[in-house]
Amino acid sequence: MKDRLSAFYWLNETQFAQASSEQITSQRRSAIEKFEIEGFPSVRDEEWKYTSLKKLITPDYLFPSPFVPLDQEEQIDFNDIKQFLVNDIDCYQVVFINGRYSSWLSETTHTNYDICTLGSAWKKYPEVVESYFNKLTKDDGPLVQLNTGLAWEGLYINVPKNIIVDKPIQVLYISTGDTPVFNQTRSLIILSEGSSAEIIERHHSLTNHETWTNAVDELHVGSNAKIHWVKLQHDSSNASLTQHSKIHQEKDSTAIVHTISTGGKLIRNNLDFSLTGKGAEARMFGLSLGSDRQLVDHHTRVDHIAPNCSSHEAYKGIYDESSRGVFNGKIYVHIDAQKTQAYQQNNNLILSEKATIDTKPQLEIFADDVKCTHGCTIGQLDEDALFYLRARGIRNKEAKALLMLAFANDAIADIQHPSLRVKLSQLIGRKLGVDMSNAL
């Protein structure tokens, strides 16, 4: 598959070159060359020790052609995707089908800020895109390089100084069609000083064929700016997602990321924060509910580069049946990052003998005046608590679900929108097989 992908790039290089400057083309080319040398990561690679891509790279995937708009036949009716959106909040909406923009399902804007697609931004704002594209992803592994080489479409947000985006931005990536499909999506999000935005992101596959989305996101969060990003990973059982999100934060900025992984075949999240200005704050929360043979892998990394920054990380995992979880949390406190406050917690429940979790905190601290705490736990549901609930008349299944929800609670406590919370509790309830619509 590596050779097919590289051939695909060289075949389409003219299309890529036409869409942007020579400088970008040479970046794409060097990214593909890196990918050609390294190939897909294997379990011999420390970063991929517990997550094998072997099965993921075997299907005969379709690679959607670059810069080709969606044709009529690929249209999807709104009713087919409605259920994947949080419907009762007023939102901007950006929908992609097999990595291509669907204008008739989307509501974008250029009025006070740009909420549109990277595909159109190449033409509309070439200077902005070129000054930000691939700035945060140069040194990352082969999947990121592959994406840098091939990706051209995804979410584009640019918010000017001191502007607040007035409503959440929902972005939905749909996979469909009658062949396996491999999508490269790329988002570029630029929040200038003092601005703020909120994103709700979801990937969903409508086909029975294998789908794989390899996503890369670059987020630039200016001083005093704020981003809240909720990723709902509740895909069908033959859909896989590898996602690298790189967040660059300046002075006094805040980034909050919630990753709720309840469905999909293989999910690998790389979530990296660089705290480059004083007083920046990164908050990340994860909730993973694994069942069947699912794999949910979280690799997070926080680089504390400037002093007086804080990072707060709380990941919860509940693994049932033959599912597997991986958590690797890296915190690097660089030499100048005095007065750093870093908190990391990973707690897991294992509900079956076949389920596994590999959890590894990794802290490297080069400054001397810092406060870092971390911990991880692996356990089972508390039998005494279960008896207590059941003795009050709550049936076994509901009692277990309630305890799991209680366990998961602090991973979703910061999500404020009531309708998003309802959506979340429905997703979690569906996963646990109980009606939880009023539980949150």
Partner 1 sequence: MLEIVNLHASIDNKVILNGINLKINLGEVHAIMGPNGSGKSTLSNVIAGHDGYDIISGDILFDGDSVLDFPPEKRAHLGLFLSFQYPVEIPGITVSNFIRTALNEIRKAKGEESLGASPMLKLMREKMKVLEMDKGFLSRSLNEGFSGGEKKRNEIFQMAMLEPKMAILDETDSGLDIDALRVVANGVNALRSDRNAFIVITHYQRLLDYIIPDFVHVLFNGKIVKSGGKELAIELEKRGYDWIKKEQK
Name the site residues for partner 1 (rule: CB under 8 A).
382-385, 387-396, 398-399, 402-403, 405-410, 439
d(CA 48, CA 147): 18
Q: How many angstroms separate the first and last alpha carbons of the chain?
A: 44
Strand partners, 303: 274, 332
CB of 395 to partner 1, least distance (A): 5
Nearer of residues 31 and 405 to partner 1, judged by Cβ = 405
CB of 71 to partner 1, least distance (A): 49
d(CA 347, CA 339): 26
Nearer of residues 11 and 413 to partner 1, judged by Cβ = 413
Nearer of residues 37 and 391 to partner 1, judged by Cβ = 391
CB of 400 to partner 1, least distance (A): 12
CB of 334 to partner 1, least distance (A): 35
CB of 393 to partner 1, least distance (A): 4
Nearer of residues 165 and 389 to partner 1, judged by Cβ = 389
CB of 439 to partner 1, least distance (A): 7
Q: Which long-range contacts (CB under 8 A, 24 or more apart) does 68-76 make?
A: 68/100, 69/100, 69/101, 70/97, 70/98, 70/100, 70/101, 70/102, 74/98, 74/100, 74/176, 74/177, 75/102, 75/104, 76/102, 76/105, 76/174, 76/176, 76/206
Nearer of residues 255 and 439 to partner 1, judged by Cβ = 439
Residues 294-333 as b/e (b if ≥16 CB within 10 A, e otherwise) read bbbbbbbbbbbbbbbbbbbbbbbbbbbebbbbbbbbbbbb
d(CA 418, CA 105): 24
Selection from 329, 242, 289, 328 nearest residue 412 by Cα: 289
d(CA 141, CA 46): 12
Nearer of residues 219 and 408 to partner 1, judged by Cβ = 408
- How is 29-72 classified by DSSP, letter by letter? HHHHHHHHHH-S--TTSGGGTT---TTTT-S--B-PPTTPPPPG
Nearer of residues 27 and 348 to partner 1, judged by Cβ = 348
CB of 433 to partner 1, least distance (A): 16
Q: Find the angle CA(430)-CA(432)-CA(433) to the nearest 5 degrees.
A: 60
Nearer of residues 127 and 384 to partner 1, judged by Cβ = 384
